[in-house]
Chain A
Amino acid sequence: MRIRLRLFAMYAEAFGADELSLELPAGATVADALAAVRREPAAAKLPPRPLVAVNLTYAKPDVALSEGDEVALIPPVAGG
């Protein structure tokens, strides 16, 4: 299944893109998506356990993904 992975702030700078397209097997989890991202060279700049959001909500590594989900890597937040 194809998953759209959104990037922001310093992560978007590191990858030189604000979006990655991942091809994952059915039943893949957030952890699987992260493993796929880590195959990119720019992923060396990511922290050990980056925050992930699925469909606008924070999601733990064991959350299962579905076709068309919007997944995002969330850098350390700095609002307020």
Chain B
Amino acid sequence: MPGHLTDHAIDVTALAAEVADPGCGAAVIFLGTVRNSPADGDVLGIEYSAYPEMADAEWDRVLAEAREQWPMARIAMRHRTGYVPTGEASVAVVVSCPHRAEAYAASRYVIEETKTRVPIWKKERFGSGATRWTANTPEATRG
């Protein structure tokens, strides 16, 4: 099973090509991008780090669960590690299915599970030079 982490910019076109298939009439592409809204302050980018062996193991489990619920789904994903500037994608999930209902559902499942389970962390970097660790939930609850 190939790894899901990359320290390069994500090639979304190549990722979509991995799961394209003549039998699939729908491809849903989700991109999570680094944002900098006024409420966030002057976020220049985010430094992502991971527990690589466990991140891949957890994603293998997530994708197996997704395939169990949506057997026709073809799924590929990548998550970046290292510094990701504001506006760039930190994660990409591509789901190809015969029909769009399953593609949307499987896509949502993969990103939601990624956000709650996969051992990845992020440190925001601000224009001031300050940095700050952030979490998806105030306190880890999974486990």
Query: Which A residues have a C-beta under 8 Å from some C-beta of B?
Result: 6, 8-10, 47, 50-53, 56-60, 72, 74-80
Contact = CB atoms under 8 A, between A and B. Distances in A.
Given A59-B143, A75-B133, A80-B136, 4 more contacts: A8-B50, A58-B143, A76-B136, A79-B118
A74 B57 contact: no
Interface in B103-122: 111, 114-122
Contacts of A78: 120-122, 133-136
Nearest to A9: B121
A77 B111 CA distance: 13
Contacts, number: 92
Interface of chain B: mostly helix, strand, loop or mixed? mixed
Interface of B: 32, 48-51, 53-55, 57-58, 79, 90-91, 111, 114-123, 133-140, 142-143
Contacts of B118: 77, 79-80
Given A72-B54, A78-B135, A79-B91, A8 B121 contact: yes
Given A8-B121, A9-B133, A60-B143, A79 B57 contact: no
Interface of chain A: mostly helix, strand, loop or mixed? loop
Given A8-B51, A47-B140, A72-B54, A77 B133 contact: no
13 contacts: A8-B119, A60-B143, A72-B119, A74-B140, A75-B135, A76-B139, A77-B117, A78-B136, A79-B118, A79-B119, A79-B121, A80-B32, A80-B91
